[in-house]
Structure 1
Amino acid sequence: MMSSDPSETPAISQNKYRLPKNVKPLHYDLTFWTDLESLKFGGFVTVDLDILEETSAIVLNCSDDLKLADASVHCATLDAGQLQSAQIVADKELGRASLNFPAALPAGSKAQVKLSYSAMLRGSMNGYYKSAWQRDGKTEYYALTHFQPTDARAAFPCWDEPQLKATFGITMISRAETVNISNMPAESEVLYDPTSTRDANLATLLSTLPKKDDQWKLTKFQKTPLMSSYLVAFANGPFAHLETKVVMPLSGRTVPLRVYATPDIIHQAEFCLEVTAKVLPLYEKIFEIEYPLPKLDTLAANDFDMGAMENWGLITGRTSAFMMDPKKPNILARKSIAGTQSHEVAHMWFGNITTMEWWDYLYLNEGFATLMGEAIVLGEFARVFPEWKVDSAFVANHVHHAMVLDAKRSSHPIEVECPDANFINQIFDGLSYSKAASVLRMLSEYIGEERFLKGVSGYLKKHLYANSVTRDLWDGISAASGEDIIGFPLITVTETSSGIHVRQDRYLNDGTPNADENETIWNIPLAILTVDEGGQAHVDKTAILEEREKILAIDTSRTFKLNAGTTSFYRVSYTPERLSKIAAEATKEGSVFSLSDRIGLLLRCFGTVQGRIDPGQQSPHLGRHLAERNESQVTLLSIPLALPIGQRYLDLVWVSALNSLAGVIRPFEDHRQINDSLRAFTRTLFVPIVQRFGYDFPEGESVDIVELRKTAIQGAVVGRDESVTQELRSRFTDYLKTGDKTRIPSDIAKPIFQTAARYGGREEFEAILKIAEDPTDTYRSSAIRNIGCTEDLGLMKELFSYILTKARDQDVVGFCLGLEANPLARRILVEFFQDNYDHNKDTTRYSMALAQSLETIRARITYIERSRDDLSDWLTKNTTVDALVDSTDLVYAYDWKTLIATYFAAFVTPTVMSAIDIFCIINLHHKERIRSWT
């Protein structure tokens, strides 16, 4: 275990954006008041310091929001323990204040700095800010914190860097009728009595309180362990709570768990509390380290910038991250809440006990919590929710999302230098979460999950209450990595007389890496699945590709596949013949391929086609090899045959199918003929499933059927099916008449709101907007994301005005995403951005996301230009699609093997094959099974 002795703390690097290393904070006493009527706060902070170098100036972080009243420093080693007043010099650009004083503090001494301050509660969802809620029709406020990454300085002067850990003693002063919560439990809580206050500093502070005749109370919290400033948290408001308790497996302690929210929505916290009670003891057991705090609280806030935040002992987040109406079960909400809360609880160890040294290593926190919280703990390993198939869902969501982002030139390494505070927020993206988690999952699969978690436990134990860098984690799990990697490889596989020839090159979504972009050599666990004479599958986890290319000896006369279980972070390009054989094996009952294998095959389909490689940009060997594949990619038709057979796993595959098909529809929305044909095909796939399973969700129904019904209804909406549209509109019409949402099951609220907004008028628009404005309504997120589907130009303009003037800050992105998904609104959205450019023209805080978006647009343009004519020609000439649209019975009658041969002959472009023909075969091959399920 690393000592917390400051002399053993690694040196802090010096640059413009980092604080000087002449002092180190040891302990903060933070005393402050909050007035929810004036929306102000203030107080004083006293910090105990180690003086590491002689200095007559102390520099700390302080936002210009804080009005510093006075500052002083006391050092016992100076004559008579001299108290010196300090001159305050602010640096607004860097968010700092320099305290200059006449007598230098000697190295090796102890000192104490005290600063008084006051400020307004922010409205920006960072620092110490206000959140609005409605009580009896009146808007009221409560206050809470969000400090990650660099906003503790906006609530109190501090050393706001993760490496500068300290302990914190917090005292909150508030109106007597409100509730105070913080990282630690309350040690005492008393009403303010002016006659009994002995602390002169406190008496002075209390004498300045607004409306001092009102009743105030003092809540003193227990001292925290050593922690980084961004993990400090506190809140004040009219909170109610639900509570349970758990007995921890190592310590045997009983730990109380609470979820706080405003009284109007607290009943929606039951499931969040249940998840917390399930996973907290599991983590203690897995990490073999006792949970160090006496309690764990969660606060659901109406206004919150991120999804959720892992403040130690006081998790905070959006209401949608934690709350669900218990009377309206929603599988999507359950999965989201469980994944979010399990993710944040994982941070109580990984991130909070052991913290990254600097924000360069953010992925250590977020990648691990994503893998641990959303896959390992919720799935088969701990069997919290094994029926959710979370490992396969991880492939469909995180692995796929990471590859989409990482296939861009504007990608960045998972470990990325973050000198400037403006840059830090940009790396809270899919690469720091999804790619980092995918890489860690690859490592876990390579060495084995049990050994992986043992290594993580060792890493945490070695760095308890300290900070770490990448190498520390790799050392902990005995992994040889640590490269600064951008992107991921495409592995091309060519069969030889003695085995297979494999080669690695960087994969890009436009398919043309130049020489400079193709220099990286990855260490790639190949995870080769082979089958023996008895038909048993074996996975060779020792096979590593550490160079550009190599030959591996395997028997190619039998089934084989690289990246077994889709555990590694790379794409594979096989010969057309091998791809057909893989697809054939994947369709068999009792196939050697897992669900994750099959989903991976399906998701690779669209990506591989969009990322076709130009042979002229590659080496002669690779160019010749890939030229053959570009000419023969009709074999991508075979990939959908890798869908799982039977009821149990079909839901995830249909989700992947719909997402891939939507990826083809979107680029061609402005091409009427193509778009109409694509939507007709989509109807062919999904409407029969809707007809089979209907629109209601009986209690006790399996998760798989729930998910399949949801996906089918959404697919029918994408296809603009008239019968489904009428049914969904009628359900919303019933709500307009009665105010009762009984006929709007929460699992299909999204397509219902989407349809009501698209085909309705003002009445529907205003009803959806009313739901979107109500923080107590569990349908709120669906309303926000789908009201932008309106096709009424006047209502569209009203929505833009609403976004600019009335929408909560946290909801602006949701509204805009809904509009961006509407082809009629998209150009107006661009004009709206241009008209309001002055509000956004400083791109320093989102330059990476901007670069990724621009690259996506360019890649989509290339894709359209390359495929438009072929796609249009194919849709015009091929009559099979028309037949499929005209007759569902004809769909059932087709023999899918015959149809494959027909499509091979008719195929013109891989674009069509990857998303149209493929899904037809999915449909044909499983319709009869779907019919027989109930």
Structure 2
Amino acid sequence: MASDAHRLPTNVVATHYDLTICTDLEKLRFYGSATVHLDVVAETPSIEFHSFGLTLHDLTITSSALTESQSYTGSAVQLNKDNERATVSLASSLPAGSSAQLKLGFEAELTGSMIGYYRSSWKDGDTTKYYALTQFEPTAARRAFPCWDEPALKSTFTVTLISRVGTTSLANMPSISEDMYTPNTAIDVPWLNQKLAELSKKDEKQWKITKFEKTPPMSTYIVAFANGVFEYKESAYKSPLSGKTRVLRVYATSDLINQVQWSLDVKEKIVPLYERVFDIEYPLPKLDTLIAHDFDAGAMENWGLITGRAAAFCVDPKKTSIRVKKQIAGIMSHEVAHMWFGNITTMQWWDYLYLNEGFASLMGEVVILDKVFPEWRVHSVFVSGHLARALKADANPSSHPIEVPCPDANMVNQIFDGLSYSKAASILRMLYQYAGDEKFMRGVSIYLKEHLFGNSVTEDLWKGIQSSTGLDIPHLMDNWVKKIGYPVVTVTEVEGGIQVRQDRFLDSGPVKPEDNETIWTIPLFVLTVSDKGEAIIDRQILLNEREKFIPLDTTKVFKVNTGTVGVYRVLYSDERLVKLAYEAVKHKSVLSLEDRMGLVLDAPAIAKAGLIQTSSALALIDAFRNETEFVVWTSIGETLSELTSVWGENDKVVELLRGFTRPLYAHLVERLGYNPVNGESVDDRELRINAITMAANAGEPGVIKELLARFAQFVESGDIDSDLERIIFKIAVENGGRAEFDKLRTAASNPTNPSQAISAILALGATRDEKLAAELFDTILDETRDQDVAYLLMGVASNSKFRVYGVKRFQENYDALEKRFDGNWTLQTIIRAVHSTVSTRESYTSVSEFFKTKDTSKYKMVLNQTLDAISAKASWVERSTNDILGWLETKGAKL
């Protein structure tokens, strides 16, 4: 590892940091000092650590192995901006087995970059106020303090925060003292001591010093601290393992504090459940959440101090949108899961990011959430959410394995995607179902306990689960984790049973032999029916070769991948697909809710790849027109929306698709109405929202009239149904002009809650007016908060009239956007968003040519996936337009 140009040498390791940070929210700067305790593992003539964007002062190295202190000025420290490191050459080598201390001061601006230690702002009346917080994952701790910034290099931390009186300071651990700063206060590093003396002389306002408890061993990317004028709401839970009571808080500025109760309530319910499931107590004395107005990601699992954007944690108590409540509960549970997966046990290197994110997605958003909100049917939602996302992302020729080499920081930033989160969660869910709930969870607990406060790799997880199940887990799972892609299982009916064959699935078309070398070990989860008509599920059949014969009675119902548990597509003959569709819609079908969802999701994807006709997928959807379950309609809606988007520049196909869609959803709107009914199920409430949204987007006149009337009421009174807010705003802009546009521009900048801001920003992109579309890029793009720019561009991309124009304006604004979002995730998100709907060869050529002159190293993976996605859609249009037209015209004649 020492020879890896992208990794720090291992001859010296940090064991403890004494870290002091002074935050000046008026000058928007921070000043710090660090004393880093080092162990010398191998003889070394130099010490190398990470530092980026910091001005370093008074660097001193002391060691018992040296005859006297080695002192260096800042100019003697070699700084390498390209690899974000500082190197100090020593007058004499430090011997192996010795210890040393690195002391230094540092300072930097509190920028609005949303990475490192940065500033966030909010409006208190007409006054703009600032506070500061951290975002270090994956490689930005080095922007806040000099450190050994790699996940395996765990240390303990003692943090001291110096701030102005009247503000609140937060860190990973609880505070143990808070004292006033005086000129007699001693700071370990002379430079910071002098700086504080200067600040206190120039400024009459008083400063205070807050000291925090020492942390357990932890990685730098989950270190966190913050300073500002915050309020909080508090709760607590009693540990089911030890009986200890721990404080739970949510901090926010005064404009948001009354919208945090839901987040706090969810956290209180889930933390003890995690302790029981893992049989490991939460190890810190407290668990805070800090809500930020400016945040690059959705949320971040800093140990003891979760952070996240307002839309991720705030619910307006007067307007309880079920979508927002479910989203927030999932995010909170996901971040709390990281307190175990990632914080107690941390991946050895970013190659193994999925050990953090895949588990947090599965545990947080399914296993634990199901115990708190069983009425949400999160196992079913997983199919239309994470699994669908995973299968779509991994059907791309430019996909990557879940466990992917990450040699440098540029690559690390690119793997926080649908594969590390959704595909990882999906393959773990597949193993969870194959091995059995109890055995799987026992194996996970073994894995965590064997790596408490340590680091792990894939093989460590497999070892834990293998010890509890007796299964050969590496044989089952390694290709799912280490190889790119996933299979399509082709089912051919033969005498006495079925012949099943696996090949890699690509949505760009039939796979080439050189791309079809992987053989996965596939749990087939085969459903058959007994003589009494009862479902029998064989969970033990594995396809671990290219082809296999399975004996069964093909005159009866059968299905592969029952429950839609496996991470693969299933290709049936057209005749069998029709039979499954008819079985699925029976009142008492042997096929489950998840089976119906799987059929609806698989058919259009397989059609996109050219393996069946797209008209077969439409016929399958048509067979489900009397479906009653929300989650199935969600899958149907996503398919119809995708088809309408892909053919968005073919007016004839779009209008026929809209004509096919309208009666499907108008029927549901007529049954469910527009207003919630006391005592109705969560499913019916969400189905109403989905049906109204789909009907409105398809141009159903009665629904549009109702939504416009509701927008008029919003204009008059400010009151709006939070469940329907997003589609009301979109329809108002789409069917309106300047007045509607300006109203929502105001709502975007001065919302009643964070969710409303997102709804308004998305809606602005729906305008059909050329002048207003130009205004989005001429002025509104610059005015929009950095964290919300992607939403603005998503709205434009969803507008078939202006999506190509949106790509053009993105290209014109590229240089400014690249500079604006240098170093964080947003640029990748924007690139994916702005190109997400274009689907012609002309667009492919335009985008490809544009990026040939750009430095794409920070988003190359996303760009390649984006180009492949455009190409696949273009091929689909070329292949299937006549097929779709023929089917829709015939269907229209029958309606």
Normalising by structure 2, we get a TM-score of: 0.92
Kept after mapping to 2: 8 A contact 1:353/1:466: yes
What is the 5 A alignment of 1:7-22? 12=1, 14-22=3-11
* Distance across 1 between alignment mates of 2:2 and 2:351: 12
* Distance across 1 between alignment mates of 2:533 and 2:657: 40
Letter in 1 for 2:325: R
* Distance across 2 between alignment mates of 1:582 and 1:687: 26
Please state whether the residue corresponding to 1:407 is helix, strand or coil: coil
Aligned partner of 1:527 in structure 2 is 525
Aligned partner of 2:392 in structure 1 is 404
Aligned partner of 1:897 in structure 2 is none
Q: Does 1:103 align with 2:82?
A: no
Structure 1: unaligned runs, 5 residues or longer = 1-11, 614-629, 885-934
Deviation at 1:824, TM superposition (A): 1.8
- Please, which of 154, 159, 169 is the counterpart of residue 170 of structure 1? 159
* Distance across 1 between alignment mates of 2:782 and 2:362: 39
Q: Does 1:118 align with 2:104?
A: no
Q: Does 1:85 align with 2:76?
A: no
Please state whether the residue corresponding to 1:97 is helix, strand or coil: strand
* Distance across 1 between alignment mates of 2:478 and 2:865: 25
Closer/same/farther in 2, CA of residues 783 and 433 from structure 1, 3 Å limit: same
What is the 5 A alignment of 1:497-646? 497-613=495-611, 630=612, 634=616, 637-638=619-620, 641=623
* Distance across 2 between alignment mates of 1:145 and 1:560: 53
Deviation at 1:101, TM superposition (A): 2.5
* Distance across 1 between alignment mates of 2:546 and 2:15: 50
* Distance across 1 between alignment mates of 2:442 and 2:626: 33
Kept after mapping to 1: 8 A contact 2:524/2:561: yes
Aligned partner of 2:697 in structure 1 is 718
What is the 5 A alignment of 1:410-449? 410-449=398-437
Aligned partner of 2:885 in structure 1 is 872
* Distance across 2 between alignment mates of 1:803 and 1:243: 38
Structure 2: unaligned runs, 5 residues or longer = 467-472, 819-853
Deviation at 1:554, TM superposition (A): 2.5
* Distance across 1 between alignment mates of 2:868 and 2:87: 42
What is the 5 A alignment of 1:292-441? 292-379=283-370, 383-441=371-429
Aligned partner of 1:932 in structure 2 is none
Kept after mapping to 2: 8 A contact 1:265/1:776: no
Letter in 2 for 1:403: L
* Distance across 1 between alignment mates of 2:587 and 2:459: 44
Kept after mapping to 2: 8 A contact 1:61/1:153: yes
Moved more, 218-227 or 594-603: 594-603
* Distance across 2 between alignment mates of 1:414 and 1:682: 36
Closer/same/farther in 2, CA of residues 639 and 765 from structure 1, 3 Å limit: closer
* Distance across 2 between alignment mates of 1:203 and 1:13: 36
Moved more, 199-208 or 246-255: 199-208
Deviation at 1:331, TM superposition (A): 0.6
* Distance across 1 between alignment mates of 2:576 and 2:709: 49
* Distance across 1 between alignment mates of 2:757 and 2:597: 31
* Distance across 1 between alignment mates of 2:391 and 2:887: 29
Kept after mapping to 1: 8 A contact 2:271/2:336: yes
Q: Does 1:469 align with 2:480?
A: no
* Distance across 1 between alignment mates of 2:228 and 2:603: 51
Please state whether the residue corresponding to 1:766 is helix, strand or coil: helix
Kept after mapping to 2: 8 A contact 1:772/1:784: yes
* Distance across 2 between alignment mates of 1:508 and 1:565: 23
Deviation at 1:434, TM superposition (A): 0.6
Q: Does 1:76 align with 2:72?
A: no
What is the 5 A alignment of 1:445-844? 445-478=433-466, 479-480=473-474, 481-483=477-479, 484-613=482-611, 630=612, 634=616, 637-638=619-620, 641=623, 647=628, 650-738=629-717, 740-741=718-719, 744-774=720-750, 777-778=753-754, 779-839=756-816, 840=818, 841-844=854-857
* Distance across 2 between alignment mates of 1:874 and 1:493: 25
* Distance across 2 between alignment mates of 1:556 and 1:723: 46
Identity %: 50
* Distance across 2 between alignment mates of 1:574 and 1:196: 76
Deviation at 1:804, TM superposition (A): 3.9
- Please, which of 206, 230, 244 is the counterpart of residue 196 of structure 2? 206
Closer/same/farther in 2, CA of residues 644 and 631 from structure 1, 3 Å limit: closer
Please state whether the residue corresponding to 1:293 is helix, strand or coil: coil
* Distance across 1 between alignment mates of 2:137 and 2:189: 33
- Please, which of 122, 130, 135 is the counterpart of residue 124 of structure 2? 135
C-alpha deviations, 1:73-104, integer Å up to 9, x for none? Answer: 1102322x535336311000000000123122
Closer/same/farther in 2, CA of residues 104 and 631 from structure 1, 3 Å limit: closer
Please state whether the residue corresponding to 2:444 is helix, strand or coil: helix
- Please, which of 133, 141, 163 is the counterpart of residue 144 of structure 1? 133
C-alpha deviations, 1:152-171, integer Å up to 9, x for none? Answer: 00000000000000000000
Closer/same/farther in 2, CA of residues 681 and 787 from structure 1, 3 Å limit: same
Deviation at 1:748, TM superposition (A): 0.8
Q: Does 1:66 align with 2:66?
A: no
* Distance across 2 between alignment mates of 1:800 and 1:823: 17
Closer/same/farther in 2, CA of residues 775 and 32 from structure 1, 3 Å limit: farther
* Distance across 2 between alignment mates of 1:291 and 1:276: 13
Please state whether the residue corresponding to 1:660 is helix, strand or coil: helix
Letter in 1 for 2:682: V
Please state whether the residue corresponding to 1:845 is helix, strand or coil: coil
* Distance across 2 between alignment mates of 1:200 and 1:129: 23
Letter in 2 for 1:49: L
Letter in 1 for 2:385: N
Kept after mapping to 2: 8 A contact 1:576/1:632: no
Closer/same/farther in 2, CA of residues 492 and 276 from structure 1, 3 Å limit: same
Closer/same/farther in 2, CA of residues 751 and 636 from structure 1, 3 Å limit: closer
Please state whether the residue corresponding to 2:857 is helix, strand or coil: helix
Letter in 1 for 2:763: N
* Distance across 2 between alignment mates of 1:31 and 1:635: 61
Kept after mapping to 2: 8 A contact 1:598/1:643: no
Please state whether the residue corresponding to 1:410 is helix, strand or coil: coil
Aligned partner of 2:862 in structure 1 is 849
Please state whether the residue corresponding to 1:561 is helix, strand or coil: coil
What is the 5 A alignment of 1:136-285? 136-195=125-184, 197=186, 201=190, 203-209=193-199, 211-285=202-276
Letter in 2 for 1:537: A
Closer/same/farther in 2, CA of residues 720 and 639 from structure 1, 3 Å limit: closer
Deviation at 1:666, TM superposition (A): 1.1
* Distance across 2 between alignment mates of 1:734 and 1:555: 60
* Distance across 2 between alignment mates of 1:804 and 1:780: 14
Please state whether the residue corresponding to 2:266 is helix, strand or coil: helix
Please state whether the residue corresponding to 1:656 is helix, strand or coil: helix
* Distance across 2 between alignment mates of 1:427 and 1:737: 46
Please state whether the residue corresponding to 1:235 is helix, strand or coil: strand
C-alpha deviations, 1:816-870, integer Å up to 9, x for none? Answer: 0000111122122122122223344332221111111111111111111112233
| Count, aligned residues | 844
Letter in 2 for 1:496: V
Kept after mapping to 1: 8 A contact 2:615/2:884: no
Please state whether the residue corresponding to 2:129 is helix, strand or coil: strand
Aligned partner of 1:903 in structure 2 is none
* Distance across 2 between alignment mates of 1:467 and 1:712: 47
Please state whether the residue corresponding to 2:518 is helix, strand or coil: coil
Closer/same/farther in 2, CA of residues 200 and 353 from structure 1, 3 Å limit: closer
Please state whether the residue corresponding to 1:208 is helix, strand or coil: helix
* Distance across 1 between alignment mates of 2:780 and 2:36: 43
Please state whether the residue corresponding to 1:843 is helix, strand or coil: coil
Letter in 2 for 1:322: F
